[in-house]
Amino acid sequence: MNELTRRLWEEQDRHSGDRLRLFTTIGVFTGDTSVLYPGSFVDVAASFVFDSVTYVDNDRRAVRFFSDTAGVDEIISSHRRNPYKAEWRFIPSDYRTELDLADRCVGLLVSLYAGFVSEQCTRYLRPGGWLLANPSHGDAAMASIDPRYRLAAVVSARAGRYTVTEGDLESYMIPKRPTEITVELLRETSRGIAYTRSPFAYLFQRENS
């Protein structure tokens, strides 16, 4: 493994095992499915759990990281419980451009701290598939007003453990201050909406249309 690969992964995994715990919890909810992770940087923890993941990023360090395929395989295989080798692919692109992927080809779209992934990449998610979005850059709010999605569950974090809850969803995504949430408002601020409850992330399901 290249020295840069090792350093980037160590920095990514500085809260040791945190993303493994997150994706393990998500995988129990969704079951194994193909994953698209735009704005992944070097977060290969998705491949510790899911058998097929496509990562997309346009950061030069991410491009160098993923070009060390043996190093990335080593990180992944040393963390996987499943003995089958994970399939992964990296697309070194801006996710807002046309990606070399078929529409509706994945079952889980991941949007963590990387902008409006849902707005740009829902076309690749099949109906009935899942969007994992956190509120940080406004993408969870964007999905909440997107008619292609319905809120299906919330992901809470406590003491480094993640749980998925499907009940009491009406009590989530209520703005602290009455606000008309629009695409324009979200694009303008890129910060998201302050809600009365603040789980780590949300799971939306793409409607069957």
Q: Which stretch binds ligand SAM (CB under 6 A): 37-45, 78-86, 154-162, 168-176?
A: 37-45
The continuous run of DSSP H or E covering 194 comes out as none
Q: Select from 138, 93, 89, 92 the least CA-distant residue to 111.
A: 138
- Reading across the β-sheet that carries 106-111, which strands appear in turn? 87-91, 52-56, 35-38, 106-111, 125-133, 201-206, 149-158, 161-165
Q: In the numeric block, which tokens belong to residue 187? A: 């694009």
Q: Taking CB under 6 A as the rule, does residue 39 contact ligand SAM? A: yes
Q: Which stretch binds ligand SAM (CB under 6 A): 35-43, 147-155, 157-165, 178-186?
A: 35-43
Q: In the numeric block, which tokens belong to residue 89? A: 């692919």
Q: Taking CB under 6 A as the rule, does residue 96 contact ligand SAM? A: yes
Q: Taking CB under 6 A as the rule, does residue 94 contact ligand SAM? A: yes
The continuous run of DSSP H or E covering 31 comes out as none
The continuous run of DSSP H or E covering 91 comes out as strand 87-91
- Choose between 59 and 207: whose C-beta lies nearer to ligand SAM: 59
Q: In the numeric block, which tokens belong to residue 71? A: 């190093």
Q: Which stretch binds ligand SAM (CB under 6 A): 21-29, 54-62, 145-153, 161-169?
A: 54-62
- Choose between 43 and 146: whose C-beta lies nearer to ligand SAM: 43
Position among 46, 49, 62, 173 found at the interface with ligand SAM (CB under 6 A): 62
Q: Taking CB under 6 A as the rule, does residue 190 contact ligand SAM? A: no
- Choose between 91 and 153: whose C-beta lies nearer to ligand SAM: 91
Q: In the numeric block, which tokens belong to residue 153? A: 């569950």
Say which residue the tokens 């992330």 belong to: 201
- Choose between 61 and 80: whose C-beta lies nearer to ligand SAM: 61
CB of 54 to ligand SAM, least distance (A): 12
Q: In the numeric block, which tokens belong to residue 91? A: 């697309």
- Considering only residues 127-166, where is the footprint of ligand SAM by CB under 6 A? none
> What distance in Å separates the CA atoms of residue 55 and residue 77, rounded to the nearest whole number?
17
Q: Taking CB under 6 A as the rule, does residue 192 contact ligand SAM? A: no
Binding site for ligand SAM (CB under 6 A): 38-41, 43, 56-59, 62, 94-96, 112-115
